[in-house]
């Protein structure tokens, strides 16, 4: 047997990407890990304090509120994104006329600047002149505070008798949720559309011969065969939702409304930014970043267990 000569060529092609990953991904993660065990400010490195930043973090009520706000965001954004993206992808997959036009329309929010989108939606949420309250007025509903309302959406729906812990995300945070779902809808819809178009038409023809209706085809053919796409969209949407920052910063901060009314829109990434760049407390911000990293990693590993239900 002739021993194959080692070819360094492919590794040289991979080297630039590897250098970028190490310099801009791995090194910052390791540096943040080191910072989290020290007092570190704009003046430079301070004393080594061990786990003091983590102890402070566990006793910090603002940190826990930020984590709760973040989980509210994920719990609402991820299922809504999955459901609506699949619905719209089925719609796009079924039309024959103006297909390219509708795909473009759905994808426009994805490529639009988050700054522009946030400014426009903030104007739409205005209590006095916003489009949202105008539409509510057409059906006889009083104007809402939207970005200025700290009460939970379930409290607003079912009254003050509902306990605070069951109130759900504030209306201000729910306003951010609506924007976040809308912004990512086009990308997820196109991904689902690609998955739907990979399903052979013969499966549906065979099901029609057996007398299956549209709902049976959807639940017995479409959902199982599009499960790899669902798994991908689930993982990516969860990760990106945990990292939401721009719309929070642009619509409810900085300034007197930082973090929204009573801090109900202050998510964990915004709190990290606030500690690091506003308070110059880099050690504490790094500890928050590490907690966020391991939270996302844990959820990703948990979601990987769902892969056995994916039909490849």
**Mean pLDDT to the nearest integer, 205-223:** 90
- 38: phi then psi, degrees, rounded to nearest 5: -135, 160
Residue 80: which pLDDT band, with cuts at 50, 70 and 90?
very high
Average pLDDT over residues 20-27: 92
Residue 9 has a pLDDT of 82
| pTM of the predicted structure, to 2 decimals | 0.89
Considering the chain, what is the average pLDDT of its residues? 89
More confident residue, 301 or 309: 301
User: Quick check: 41 pLDDT over 90?
Assistant: no
Per-residue pLDDT, 312: 67
Q: Which two tokens stand for residue 9?
A: 């060529």
Query: To which H or E segment does residue 168 belong?
Result: none
Residue 2, pLDDT score = 62
- The C-alpha R_g of the chain, in whole angstroms, comes to 24
Q: What angle do CA 301, 307, 310 make, to 5 degrees?
A: 160
Q: What is the pLDDT of residues 126-176, one digit of tens each?
A: 988 899 999 999 999 889 999 989 889 998 888 777 777 778 899 999 999
C-alpha separations of 127 from 135, 203, 246, 249, 271 in Å: 12, 51, 22, 19, 26
Can you tell me the distance from the alpha carbon of 70 to that of 74, in angstroms, rounded to the nearest whole number? 6
Judge contact between 253 and 173, C-beta under 8 A: no
Locus of tokens 């057996």: 210
In order of start, what are the domains of the chain with their CATH numbers?
61-309 (1.10.3720.10)
Alpha helix segments (H runs only) across 2-60: 9-21, 27-35, 52-58
Residue 64 pLDDT exceeds 90: yes
Which two tokens mark 59? 């006793």
Rounded percentage of the chain residues whose pLDDT exceeds 70? 97
Give residue-wise pLDDT tens across range 222-275: 999 999 999 999 999 999 999 999 999 999 877 655 678 888 999 999 999 999
* Tokens 């007398």, residue located: 211
Counting other chains too, the contacts that 137-146 makes at CB distance below 8 Å and 24 or more residues apart are 144/171, 145/171, 145/172, 145/261, 146/171, 146/172, 146/175
The stretch 279-294 carries a mean pLDDT of 92
Strand (E) or helix (H) holding 41: strand 38-41
Torsions phi, psi for 257 (to 5 deg): -100, 20
Burial class (CB in 10 A: 0-12, 13-18, 19+), 230: buried
Only one residue has tokens 């490195």, namely 45
More confident residue, 54 or 41: 54
In order, the DSSP letters of 100-155 are: HHHHHHHHHHHHS-HHHHHHHHHHHT-TTT-HHHHHHHHTTPPP--GGG--SBHHH
d(CA 238, CA 300): 8
């Amino acid at each position: 047997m002739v021993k194959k000569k080692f070819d360094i060529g492919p590794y040289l092609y991979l080297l630039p990407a590897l250098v970028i990953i190490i310099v801009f991904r791995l090194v910052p993660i390791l540096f943040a890990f080191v910072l989290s065990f020290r007092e570190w400010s704009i003046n430079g490195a301070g004393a080594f304090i061990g786990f003091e930043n983590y102890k402070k973090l566990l006793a910090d009520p603002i940190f826990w509120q930020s984590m709760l706000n973040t989980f509210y965001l994920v719990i609402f954004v991820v299922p809504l994104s999955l459901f609506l993206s699949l619905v719209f992808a089925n719609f796009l997959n079924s039309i024959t006329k103006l297909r390219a036009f509708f795909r473009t329309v759905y994808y426009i929010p994805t490529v639009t600047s988050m700054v522009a989108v946030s400014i426009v939606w903030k104007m739409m949420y205005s209590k006095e002149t916003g489009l949202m309250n105008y539409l509510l007025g057409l059906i006889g509903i009083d104007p809402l505070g939207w970005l200025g309302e700290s009460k939970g959406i379930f409290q607003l729906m079912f009254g003050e008798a509902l306990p605070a812990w069951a109130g759900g995300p504030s209306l201000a945070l729910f306003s951010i949720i609506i924007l976040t779902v809308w912004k990512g809808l086009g990308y997820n819809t196109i991904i689902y559309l690609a998955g739907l178009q990979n399903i052979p038409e013969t499966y549906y023809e065979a099901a029609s011969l057996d007398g299956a209706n549209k709902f049976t085809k959807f639940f017995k053919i479409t959902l199982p065969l599009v499960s790899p796409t669902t798994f991908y969209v689930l993982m990516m949407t969860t990760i990106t939702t945990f990292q939401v920052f721009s719309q929070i910063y642009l619509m409810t901060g900085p300034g007197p409304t930082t973090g929204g009314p009573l801090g109900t829109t202050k998510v964990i990434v915004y709190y990290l930014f606030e500690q690091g760049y506003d308070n110059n407390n880099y050690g504490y911000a790094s500890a928050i970043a590490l907690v966020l990293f391991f939270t996302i990693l844990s959820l990703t590993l948990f979601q990987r267990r769902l892969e056995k239900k994916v039909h490849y």
